[in-house]
Copies of this chain bind each other. A is one copy, B any other.
Amino acid sequence: MTARNGNLQVLLVAYPCGLPQERDFMTADGPIPRPSDGEILIRSIFLSLDPWQRLRMRDPQQFGRQYGKPVVLNEVIPGAVIGEVVQSRNPRYREGDLVEGKLGWQNYAVSHGDSDRSNDGEGVSKVQTFGLPFSLLDVGRPRPGETVVVSAAAGATGSVAGQIAKILGCRVVGLAGSDEKITFLVKELGFDAALNYKTERDLRESLTSQCPDGVDIYIDNVGGPIADLMLALMNDWARWVVVGHLADYEKPLDQHFGVRAQGHVLARRMRMQGFIVHDYAAQFPIARRRIRQWVHEGRLRYREYIAEGLRSAPRTFIEMLNGANLGKTLVRVGPYVESVPR
């Protein structure tokens, strides 16, 4: 299975405390794996950096039950990758095919051939990002004229979810952490309003005035004190989609102390529901088609922040968690050559 080295890999060497530090990561030169019968060898092109990876970087001793399997120390960090098949021992794949899979932070990986074929010339952002917010609307179920608030609205999930809500006829208000993001949301993506939660003097007051008819859907990527505040703004029959809780990632679930949602959930007969993207995998093909059409029609825009080289992954990941990047964060690991559709 193992042979010559030449497979640059990024490993987690310590569970981060708070915002990860570069010293929590290490690059190593591992062997390029050899595919067995039925497997393919994939060269990574784009690595998708996503907040869920921070959730997996928590010490299982300390956190107990959590969201997905924790990253194992000194092993390759898991992550979605778009790559090129460079060796195939699976009749369904040819060399040169572009595939997508959870191949991790490394230059080469073998797959059991269950990767999605993705040889339509579209990169990670057009696949991974777009499956997510579309499926999410399944939980939120927006209706025309409703008010939707999105937190981390300039991020990969929030920016697309908000735009789809606009397409469906909702009033959309975004929350983000810099004036550049606010401008992007309103001027470029067409949000009805956006608020910088870091600088608003009275965020609750500002949200109330931007949501004169209350809030019907909250797409919550951050949790924390903003969630506590949002609870009081929700309308009867509101839907609260829990996508992430970045504000509390550093704490075990039992120590997310704040306002208990239950009283508000009852008073407003609200529905609060957790959303994990891979539960909706069966709908991805439909989502992609629809999304592609909206992009083609100019109704849906996206931004990518692309860092260069696998070695930049830890720094870029930290920047993303810190809110420094705008749009979907990718790392270009190797050259991207558009494959010829067969």
Which residues of A are at the interface with B, using a C-beta cutoff of 8 A?
65-67, 220, 223, 227-228, 231-232, 242-245, 248, 253-276, 279
Contacts and interface: CB of A to CB of B under 8 A. Distances in A.
Contacts of A242: 262, 265-266
A274 B279 contact: no
Contact of A266 (B67, B228, B257, B258): B67
19 contacts: A66-B267, A228-B254, A232-B253, A232-B254, A242-B265, A242-B266, A248-B260, A253-B263, A256-B259, A256-B263, A257-B258, A257-B259, A260-B260, A261-B261, A269-B274, A270-B273, A270-B274, A271-B274, A272-B273
A57 to B, nearest CB: 15
B279 A272 contact: no
Contact of A223 (B253, B262, B268, B271): B262
Main secondary structure of the interface of A (DSSP, over half): mixed
Count this chain's copies in the assembly: 2
Contacts of A227: 260, 262
Given A65-B232, A232-B254, A253-B232, A272 B263 contact: no
Given A269-B279, A270-B274, A260 B262 contact: no
B274 A268 contact: yes
Contacts of A259: 253-257, 260
Contacts of A274: 265-271
Contacts of A271: 271-274
Contacts of A272: 261-262, 265, 271-273
A7 B203 CA distance: 51
Contacts of A231: 253-254
Contact of A253 (B65, B244, B256, B264): B264
